């Protein structure tokens, strides 16, 4: 690929919110994907990598190394903890055995100087991510996160498969102010309920970088929101969303904005374009859904000139949502508010919670009700779920996910196949909310 010279001076349309840019050096930053982890195992069905956590980086980089594997592979990760604090790795969205989940409340975290080997089989394609689940709010904010891409060899290949990790650095209280009681939970900081964090978004660690796309290339970009609190509400010309966190969608989505709550992922297809354009994010109200403020550019796309190309024939299933059987087996009600700084599920705040129990092998229907005045991205460990309805309306196409935004006063019904035994955490992925109690446990036994 030939890089365009002097791209910063190229005659592109003025980006929306250009005044938000910190400086010209940042404008000229060229986006690169996070370096991929080196697979040390010659067996094509095993991906074996080493991750050292030190100075709030994995292998010295943030985002951490991208782990790439294919469905059916065994993933082995040797974690060395060279932080001055305990840590774990949680495989967000992945169907792992309970002992490998890294949730660190029954399974002891890896102490400073310690090591742990995670090993599991990847049974589902998708765009996943990994992050600590110990002092999560502080450790994720300081830079411990990375992408785990599980490819399906049966899917067509795009010319470029890109990983774009979106973050807002500095959302958590400064280091040293969290976890003052040493229980592994930060003490929370700030009133994040309504205000959109002011700091600008970064993509792969850069503020408003430019992604240069080789001429004529069809790009599959995997977007991951690793922010503690910030919601992305992205739009761009020719928007085409082809996948969520759990792989291909049932059908492409071409209308925006693409809202990614903390923890959520999407796969988008970018076709060769005539002109440079910006991906913009509209500040998103958690009391919404509504925009609050002006759209802000987060990423500039500069395609090299090339002839048009057709979209890839992705294997969308076209599946329609499973009809809602009507009964409810499990209720999770989310409540609390910014004034008390206490967040609850079913009236209880972590760690003083009661377990929800379901039999292994059952399929259960859960209703997630948001009784609070702010939205919450609800995340379940261990098993993906199907969204049956949102406020009584079925989604337009079948939707499988592991993290879903529950709007103010919304009731969401999901179907979970309880096929994975363990004590799985279910929590809000706004990390200060989780630290302030919005976590519970689903026991599959």
- The correct pick among 68, 90, 192, 413 for binding ligand C2O (CB under 6 A) is 90
User: Residue 379 binds which one of Cu ion, ligand C2O, none, with CB within 5 to 8 A depending on kind?
Assistant: ligand C2O
User: Residue 90 binds which one of ligand C2O, Cu ion, none, with CB within 5 to 8 A depending on kind?
Assistant: ligand C2O
Q: Which stretch binds ligand C2O (CB under 6 A): 17-25, 157-165, 357-365, 423-431?
A: 423-431
Task: Please name which of 61, 62, 53 lies closest in space to residue 135, comparing C-alpha atoms.
Answer: 53
User: Residue 185 binds which one of ligand C2O, Cu ion, none, with CB within 5 to 8 A depending on kind?
Assistant: none
- Going 238 to 151 to 380 to 187, the CA torsion angle's sign is negative
Q: How far is the CB of 205 from ligand C2O (least distance, A)?
A: 19
- The correct pick among 68, 95, 133, 433 for binding ligand C2O (CB under 6 A) is 133
Distance of CA 239 to the CA centre of its chain: 19
Contact track, ligand C2O, 353-392, x by CB under 6 A: --------------------------x-x-----------
Q: How far is the CB of 259 from Cu ion (least distance, A)?
A: 15
143 in Cβ contact with 227 (< 8 Å): no
281 in Cβ contact with 266 (< 8 Å): no
Q: Which stretch binds ligand C2O (CB under 6 A): 8-16, 204-212, 388-396, 425-433?
A: 425-433
DSSP annotation string for 240-285: -EEEETTEEEEEEE--S-EEE-TT-EEEEEE---SS-EEEEE--EE
Distances (CA, A) of 222 to 81, 210, 241, 353: 28, 16, 10, 35
Q: How far is the CB of 439 from ligand C2O (least distance, A)?
A: 8
- Kindly state the tokens that stand for 69: 């594997």
- Rule CB under 6 A: is residue 212 a binding residue for ligand C2O? no
From CA 214, how far away is CA 290, in angstroms rounded? Answer: 35
Query: Smaller CB distance to ligand C2O: residue 263 or 303?
Result: 263
Task: Please name which of 273, 258, 234 lies closest in space to residue 12, comparing C-alpha atoms.
Answer: 273
Q: Which residues bind Cu ion (CB under 5 A)?
A: 376, 428, 430, 433
Residue 335: enclosing H or E segment and its boundaries? Answer: strand 330-337
Query: Smaller CB distance to ligand C2O: residue 212 or 265?
Result: 265
User: Residue 427 binds which one of Cu ion, ligand C2O, none, with CB within 5 to 8 A depending on kind?
Assistant: ligand C2O
Query: Smaller CB distance to ligand C2O: residue 90 or 192?
Result: 90
From CA 175, how far away is CA 354, in angstroms rounded? Answer: 31
39 in Cβ contact with 51 (< 8 Å): no
- The correct pick among 57, 68, 376, 427 for binding ligand C2O (CB under 6 A) is 427
Query: Smaller CB distance to Cu ion: residue 32 or 346?
Result: 346
Query: Smaller CB distance to ligand C2O: residue 220 or 433?
Result: 433
């Amino acid at each position: 690929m030939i890089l365009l010279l002097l791209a910063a001076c190229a005659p592109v349309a003025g980006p929306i919110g250009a005044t938000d840019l910190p400086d010209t050096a940042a404008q000229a930053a060229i986006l690169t994907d996070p370096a991929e982890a080196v697979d040390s195992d010659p067996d094509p069905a095993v991906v074996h990598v080493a991750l050292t956590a030190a100075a709030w980086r994995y292998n010295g980089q943030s985002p951490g190394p991208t782990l790439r594997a294919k469905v059916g592979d065994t993933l082995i990760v040797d974690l060395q903890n060279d932080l001055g604090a305990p840590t774990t790795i949680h495989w967000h969205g992945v169907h792992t055995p309970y002992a490998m989940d890294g949730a660190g409340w029954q399974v002891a975290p890896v102490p400073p100087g310690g090591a742990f080997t995670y090993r599991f089989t990847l049974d589902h394609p998708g765009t996943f991510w990994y992050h600590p689940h110990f002092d999560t709010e502080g450790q994720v904010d300081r830079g411990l996160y990375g992408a785990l891409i599980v490819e399906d060899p049966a899917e067509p290949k795009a010319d470029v498969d890109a990983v774009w990790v979106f973050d807002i650095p500095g959302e958590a209280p400064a280091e040293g102010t969290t976890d003052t009681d040493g229980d592994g939970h930060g003490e929370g900081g700030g009133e994040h309920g309504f205000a959109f964090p002011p700091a600008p978004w970064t993509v792969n660690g850069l503020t408003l970088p430019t992604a240069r796309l080789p001429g004529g290339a069809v790009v599959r970009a995997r977007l991951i929101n690793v922010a503690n609190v910030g919601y992305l509400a992205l739009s761009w010309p020719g928007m085409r969303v082809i996948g969520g966190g759990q792989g291909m969608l049932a059908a492409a989505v071409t209308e925006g904005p693409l809202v990614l709550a903390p923890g959520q992922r999407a796969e988008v297809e970018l076709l060769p374009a005539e002109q440079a354009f910006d991906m913009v994010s509209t500040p998103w109200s958690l009391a919404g859904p509504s925009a609050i403020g002006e759209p802000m550019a987060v990423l500039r796309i500069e395609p090299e000139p090339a002839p048009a190309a057709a979209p890839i024939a992705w294997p969308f299933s076209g599946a329609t949502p499973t009809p809602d059987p009507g009964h409810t087996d499990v209720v999770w009600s989310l409540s609390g508010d910014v004034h008390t700084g206490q967040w609850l599920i079913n009236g209880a705040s972590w760690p003083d919670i009661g377990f929800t129990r379901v039999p292994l092998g059952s399929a259960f229907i859960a209703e997630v009700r948001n009784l609070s005045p702010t939205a919450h991205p609800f995340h379940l460990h261990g098993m993906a779920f199907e969204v049956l309805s949102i406020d009584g309306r079925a989604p337009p196409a079948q939707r499988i996910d592991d993290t879903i935004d529950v709007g103010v006063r919304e009731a969401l019904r999901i179907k979970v196949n309880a096929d994975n035994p363990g004590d799985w955490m279910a929590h809000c992925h706004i990390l200060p909310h989780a630290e302030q109690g919005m976590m519970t446990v689903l026991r599959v036994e």
